[in-house]
C-alpha cells in the first residue's frame, strides 16, 4: 500500500549550541571566522521554534538564515583586485 507523503527540505544556517559548526575542528586561520559565525548562529530554542513554524507551512523548501540574506549574498560577491567581480566559493 502506498500512501501520499510530503517532502520538505530545510537549508539551515549555523546553530550556535550544537552541530558541525560547533564540534568540527578547524585550522587556526579559520577560527576567527567560526567564532563570528557562531555569534550569529541560532540557539536550539530558536531552531525548534523555526522548525515548528516550517512544519505548519506548505512550502516544499525553506532557507533559515539568522542574518539579512541579501547582505550575506552581497558579501559572497567581492570585487577582485583588478575591479572585476569575483565569485567566492
Tracing cell 525553506 back to the chain, one arrives at 62
Q: Does a structural domain hold residue 1?
A: no
Number of domains in the chain: 1
In 10 A of CB 67, how many CB atoms? 13
SS3 assignment for 6-52 = CCCEEEECCECCCCHHHHCCCCHHHHHHHHHHHHCCECHHHHHHHHH
Domain that holds residue 34: 9-87
Q: Does a structural domain hold residue 16?
A: yes
pTM of the model: 0.67
pLDDT in tens, the chain (89 residues): 666 678 899 999 889 989 878 888 889 888 888 888 889 899 999 999 999 999 999 999 999 999 888 887 887 776 554 455 555 55
Amino acid at each position: 500500500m502506498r500512501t501520499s507523503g510530503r517532502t520538505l527540505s530545510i537549508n539551515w544556517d549555523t546553530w550556535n549550541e550544537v552541530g558541525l559548526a560547533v564540534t568540527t575542528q578547524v585550522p587556526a586561520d579559520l577560527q576567527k571566522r567560526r567564532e563570528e559565525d557562531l555569534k550569529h548562529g541560532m540557539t536550539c530554542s530558536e531552531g525548534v521554534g523555526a522548525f515548528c513554524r516550517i512544519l505548519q507551512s506548505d512550502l516544499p523548501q525553506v532557507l533559515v538564515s539568522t542574518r539579512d540574506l541579501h547582505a550575506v549574498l552581497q558579501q559572497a560577491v567581492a570585487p577582485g583586485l583588478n575591479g572585476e567581480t569575483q565569485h567566492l566559493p
